Amino acid sequence: MSCRPAHTEPVRVLVVEDHATLASRIVQGLRRAGMAVDMVLDGAAALEASATTAYDVIVLDRDLPVVHGDQVCRALAGSGPRILMLTAAAEVEHRVAGLELGADDYLAKPFAFAELIARVRVLARRAPSAPPVLQHRDLTVDRARHRASRGSRALTLTRKEFGILEMLLAADGTVVSAEELLEHVWDVNVDPFSNIVSVTMARLRRKLGVPPLIETVVGKGYRM
């Protein structure tokens, strides 16, 4: 069970997408999931809306008219709302570029709508936006370049191991439950009753070495 408080009000989302039909479908789906959703069709309108309304998450298309999505992301990163960037380009360099701009997560089109909902929910529960490079003691994690090191030793991590480490560091000492790790790091089709989190955690701890950096909080989850 998560130790973090649940939202007492609906998650508030701003959808920024210039294709009106797709934007409307995203809005309808998020509203069916119980979220409070606003929609704008260009980057300038996104900046205006975010200046007057406190959003939990902004679903931001990258290729926007008037003001490009990159500029919107750069302007809003770290200001409060978490940013999920959408793009038609799935290449790694595009994801890296989006994260370097300050996006919290990245989703390539076309996407499964269930995954979009899951990612928005995770972002809404997360601590304020984490910086591109995270550090804890002698551990350094470069989120944008997908690199990690401990002291002078480079770490070779799988995508799941990196995802766990990134989420624990972003939580900044707060306990993260196995359920949250499962929802954020794995896809929506994973068996929620499997032991995959504990198995992956054990491998990650071995790679990190000693002294240990990750603590198990019995009955609650894990923290740095």
Q: What is the pLDDT of residue 213?
A: 95
Q: Given a cut of 60, is residue 143 above it in pLDDT?
A: yes
Please indicate, yes or no, whether residues 118 and 22 belong to a single structural domain of this protein: yes
The 10s digit of each residue's pLDDT in 115-126 is 899 889 888 876
Q: What is the pLDDT of residue 131?
A: 63
In a domain, 55, yes or no: yes
pTM of the shown model: 0.55
d(CA 125, CA 117): 13
Q: pLDDT class for 108, splitting at 50, 70, 90?
A: confident
Q: Where does residue 220 fall: left (phi above 0), alpha (psi -120 to 50 degrees), or beta otherwise? A: alpha
- Contact status, residue 161 vs residue 207, Cβ threshold 8 Å: yes
In a domain, 41, yes or no: yes
Please indicate, yes or no, whether residues 98 and 138 belong to a single structural domain of this protein: no
Please indicate, yes or no, whether residues 118 and 21 belong to a single structural domain of this protein: yes
**Of 24-28, 50-54, 103-107, highest mean pLDDT:** 24-28
**CATH number of 47's domain:** 3.40.50.2300
In terms of residue numbers, what domain contains 144? 133-223
